[in-house]
Chains A and B, each alone.
Chain A
Amino acid sequence: MLNFYIELLFFIEILTFIISIWALFINFKLYFNFNFNSFSETQFKLEQQSYLQKTIIYLTLLSSLALIIFFIFALDSLSFKIKGAMCASGIINSNDFGNLTLIAKLISFFLLSFWISIDYFEKEHKYYPYIKIKIYTFFLLFIFLILEKFFLINFFLELFDTSIVKCCSVIYSNSGTNLFLGVDFKIWFIIFIISFLSSCLKNSYITLVFETLFLISSLILITNFFSSYIYELPTHKCPYCMLKHEYSYIGYFIFLTLFTSSIFNFIYAILGMFALKDEKLSKIKRVSIFFKILFVLLVIYFPISYYIKNGVWL
């Protein structure tokens, strides 16, 4: 059942987890002992160690990004071995822990990016003004890192007992209904467009609401609308097959632009709530908008080019 990719996945997961335990250890020390007004030996050491922690967190961020991509890739590599699976979707949906793992991974990636953004703002200042936010963010992050590993292990344990799974055409066929999360498909389309257009709004709370809507509507539309145009088959609806070689790995670009844009916009919103309003914050917004436009251009390219070639919609 195990193959080389899965073994490698576990190896990197364990390695990343070990170094993040080290960062947790430093985080506890910072939590209990950090006192900027002190000139004691402990305090000087802590100030040095906060740099070490930063390095570890940067490393964790990079490897967790790689691990999200690699997780899907490794699952895809398993799809040859399990009956019924044609891509990662069959495997990931074979038990409840698959999607939980993926969601936990995305959330911890978001928290890591958030931590690093605060740190980026903190550099402007001499006196570590955001150390408390960073400490709490890291504790939260670590909970998700544990959850993620817990889900991952359970996912594989259950997967090894599974001999047959459903393929994506069974999982995502919407059996006559046009409702997603209880809302009509057309409405999701309108939400997608409105939340895209509102991404240039500056208010933190509005940004938070619309970005959430944009992310959800995008995921629904990628699965149920755009994917058919990528595969050029009205019945083929799947967010995973597009990650395969057959479709030039286009899915990676689609999801990376989507998630990058969302993460930056969420960070923009949350930091805005801390009344952090400066040049760097608008830079974050610009990066988010850039990736969002890239994402939208990427996904609408497929329906439009299909229409131009064939004169009809799917």
Chain B
Amino acid sequence: MINIENVTKVYQNGFEALKNVNLKIEKNGIYILKGVSGSGKSTLLNLLAGFDKPTTGKIELLGEFISKLPEHHMSKFRLQNIGFIFQSFNLFSELSIYENLQIPLIPLNLNTKLEKELIETLIHKYNLSDKQHQITKKLSGGEQQRVAIMRALINNPKIILADEPTANLDFNNKMIFLEMIDSFKKDKIIFISTHDDIFNDIVDVKIFNINGGIIC
């Protein structure tokens, strides 16, 4: 459950990137935040992930007022409940696929066997088993994207936030991405910011438009 009430965000330089945003998501599914460049999509996603705090207003995720959480509680909450897919993937480029997936699991303190099982199942599902020990720098854009998705999924979060996840992908890889998110829309909230029209055709998708920091 996501509930945003009267959220504004004014950056240090005085620029008002979000103006009194209200938004409510109660069911699992795919939600799209559409808007042109500079309309405030990344700003809103960063607030939802707790990377940044709003200037005023409430942000409630899964019953927790995250805009109020002290930072160390926020990181804990994020690790347990949120998977974030960055626009530029933000993978550790010198680490292998396997190692990139190990990182979000560190705080969970799983035993080695369980961890291996978890990671390998996921890698297998996303068809990267043969490359699991290759460093991510040497993967193609689409492959890196899949690693970024796996990393967001590995600790089974309730909410997935994706900031322009298809911006660097060709048509084929976009379609693969759509299939992937479609497969877990039943038990997760997937919130995607984009200016890509490709999402318009997914069934049951709910689209929010953002323009100049205002949701309309």
A residues whose Cβ falls under 8 Å from a Cβ of B: 36, 39-41, 44, 47-48, 123, 126-128
B55 touches A41 (CB 8 A): yes
In whole Å, how far is B187's beta carbon from the nearest beta carbon of chain A?
Answer: 26
Query: Complex: how many Å from CA A230 to CA B5?
Result: 69
B70 touches A123 (CB 8 A): yes
20 contacts between A and B (CB under 8 A): A39-B5, A39-B57, A39-B58, A39-B67, A40-B56, A41-B55, A41-B56, A44-B54, A44-B55, A44-B56, A44-B67, A47-B68, A47-B70, A48-B53, A123-B70, A123-B72, A126-B68, A126-B70, A126-B73, A127-B68
List A contacts of B58 (CB < 8 A): 39
Interface assignment of B69: CB less than 8 Å from any CB of chain A: yes
Q: Which chain A residue has the least Cβ–Cβ distance from B10?
A: A41
B residues whose Cβ falls under 8 Å from a Cβ of A: 5-6, 53-58, 67-70, 72-73
Query: Complex: how many Å from CA A40 to CA B57?
Result: 7
In whole Å, how far is A122's beta carbon from the nearest beta carbon of chain B?
Answer: 9
A36 touches B68 (CB 8 A): yes
List B contacts of A48 (CB < 8 A): 53
7 further interface pairs, Cβ-Cβ under 8 Å (given A36-B68, A44-B56, A47-B68): A40-B56, A41-B55, A41-B56, A44-B54, A126-B68, A126-B69, A128-B70
User: Are A44 and B53 CB-contacts (below 8 A) given A39-B67, A126-B68?
Assistant: yes
Q: Which chain B residue has the least Cβ–Cβ distance from A48?
A: B53
In whole Å, how far is B22's beta carbon from the nearest beta carbon of chain A?
Answer: 13
Q: Which chain A residue has the least Cβ–Cβ distance from B6?
A: A39
Ranked nearest first, the 9 interchain pairs of A and B with the lowest CB-CB distance are: A41-B56, A39-B58, A126-B73, A41-B55, A39-B57, A40-B56, A126-B69, A44-B53, A39-B56
Query: Complex: how many Å from CA A268 to CA B57?
Result: 38
List A contacts of B70 (CB < 8 A): 47, 123, 126, 128
Query: Complex: how many Å from CA A48 to CA B12?
Result: 14
Query: Complex: how many Å from CA A36 to CA B5?
Result: 17
List A contacts of B68 (CB < 8 A): 36, 39, 47, 126-127
Query: Complex: how many Å from CA A40 to CA B69?
Result: 15
List B contacts of A39 (CB < 8 A): 5-6, 56-58, 67-68
In whole Å, how far is A53's beta carbon from the nearest beta carbon of chain B?
Answer: 14
Query: Complex: how many Å from CA A111 to CA B58?
Result: 35
List A contacts of B55 (CB < 8 A): 41, 44
Query: Complex: how many Å from CA A44 to CA B8?
Result: 12
In whole Å, how far is B97's beta carbon from the nearest beta carbon of chain A?
Answer: 35
List A contacts of B5 (CB < 8 A): 39
List A contacts of B6 (CB < 8 A): 39
In whole Å, how far is B60's beta carbon from the nearest beta carbon of chain A?
Answer: 10
Query: Complex: how many Å from CA A123 to CA B74?
Result: 12
List A contacts of B72 (CB < 8 A): 123
In whole Å, how far is B23's beta carbon from the nearest beta carbon of chain A?
Answer: 15
Query: Complex: how many Å from CA A126 to CA B53?
Result: 15
Query: Complex: how many Å from CA A39 to CA B4?
Result: 12
Which of A39, A48, A123, A128 has the largest number of chain B CB atoms within 10 A? Answer: A39
